[in-house]
Amino acid sequence: MRPVVALVPAAGRGVRLGETTPKAFVPVGGTPMVRLAVDGLIASGAVHRVVVVVPAELVDVASTLLSTTSLTGGSMPPVPVQVVAGGAERTDSVRAGIAAAPDAGHFLVHDAARALTPPELIARVAAELHAGSPAVVPALPVVDTVKSVDDTGVVTGTPDRAHLRAIQTPQGFGAELLRRAYATEVGATDDAGLVERLGTAVRTVPGDPLAFKITTPLDLRLAEALLADGAASDRAGRSSDTTTAAEQAVLR
Ligand code: CTP
Ligand code: MG
């Protein structure tokens, strides 16, 4: 079987979070988000290899941060983690990750910013891929009413909420399909959006509230509180001792 490769876009600047450190390197419960995200992927037991895409100047820091042996996930075989440099837009970063994994049979594309994603969700997406779906996304019902507006802020429509979903990561794809989706230069806010343009059906699986994207200072406070409460304690326990003082100093 060709490998399942997890691509972790982690090269964003985190403008909305407002920290000086690029967002994926901001600690949650003492551990950088990118490390938490990679730990979750490995703990799922669903990936053979991980490619992490970071800002070019942080490739060495990230390689050190992600190289420790605790990434073997207990009894499971070691999962190699490779670090490559990303680009200006998320699509540029994902494209760099795809290029680093020519052998992949499936891709799981997973935002580093979804640092508390439960491994069970990751395994659910992978299982749906193995069951034959070419494209799989985690989805949650939308709680707010969503409206479209024009450029002046006037409401132009109210789609039926029953048919709306908030989409998370990891998003899973057959490798050839994702490569084809990324062969064009069009923009999209998620990877499935590019696949949809090819006319391929994208299947949803149930998402998880813990897979929320840490985007704003409020999200960061929520993530800190969840880790402190033990809601994602498994993750904190595995990782809390893995950032050395030297690494913290570099990241600061
Ligand atoms: N990402 C990336 N390369 C970019 C932009 C984003 O790898 N050029 C990654 C981010 O690191 C993050 C994921 O894509 O893990 C989702 O992006 P987002 O939450 O928007 O993160 P940022 O772009 O860093 O945040 P912001 O949009 O607030 O600047
Ligand atoms: Mg962004």
The pLDDT of residue 1:
81
User: Is any atom of ligand 1 closer than 6 Å to the C-beta of 89?
Assistant: yes
Tell the residue nearest (CA) to atom 16 of ligand 1. 111
Please name the residue that has the structure tokens 């990750």.
Answer: 97
- Tokens representing 127? 């299982």
Indicate the pLDDT class of residue 233, thresholds 50, 70 and 90. low
The pLDDT of residue 59:
98
User: What atom of ligand 1 comes closest to residue 53's alpha carbon?
Assistant: 7
The pLDDT of residue 186:
80
Strand residues in 10-109 grouped as ranges (E) = 27-28, 31-32, 49-54, 81-85, 106-109
- Spacing, Cα 90 to ligand 1 middle (Å): 6
The pLDDT of residue 239:
44
Instruction: Please compute Rg for the chain using Cα positions.
Output: 18
User: Is any atom of ligand 1 closer than 6 Å to the C-beta of 93?
Assistant: yes
How far apart are the C-alpha atoms of 234 and 159, rounded to whole Å? 39
Q: Which domain holds residue 147?
A: 4-251
Count Cβ atoms below 10 Å from residue 68 Cβ, excluding itself: 15
Ligand nearest to the CA of 26: 1
Each residue's pLDDT tens digit, 24-81: 999 999 999 999 999 999 999 999 999 999 999 999 999 999 987 555 555 667 899 9
The pLDDT of residue 99:
98
User: What atom of ligand 1 comes closest to residue 33's alpha carbon?
Assistant: 15
- Spacing, Cα 155 to ligand 1 middle (Å): 29
Please name the residue that has the structure tokens 């901001």.
Answer: 26
User: Where residue 121 sits, what CATH number does that domain have?
Assistant: 3.90.550.10
Quote the DSSP letter at residue 93: H
Ligand nearest to the CA of 23: 1
Q: Within its chain, how far is the Cα of 167 from the centroid?
A: 12
User: What atom of ligand 1 comes closest to residue 88's alpha carbon?
Assistant: 8
Please name the residue that has the structure tokens 């407002």.
Answer: 18
pTM for the whole structure: 0.92
Whole-number average pLDDT of the chain = 91
Domain count, the chain: 1
Ligand nearest to the CA of 111: 1
Rounded average pLDDT over 142-147? 97
Each residue's pLDDT tens digit, 182-226: 998 788 889 999 999 999 999 999 999 999 999 999 999 999 999
User: What atom of ligand 1 comes closest to residue 215's alpha carbon?
Assistant: 19
> SS3 helix, strand, coil % of the chain, rounded to 5?
40, 20, 40
How far apart are the C-alpha atoms of 199 and 79, rounded to whole Å? 33
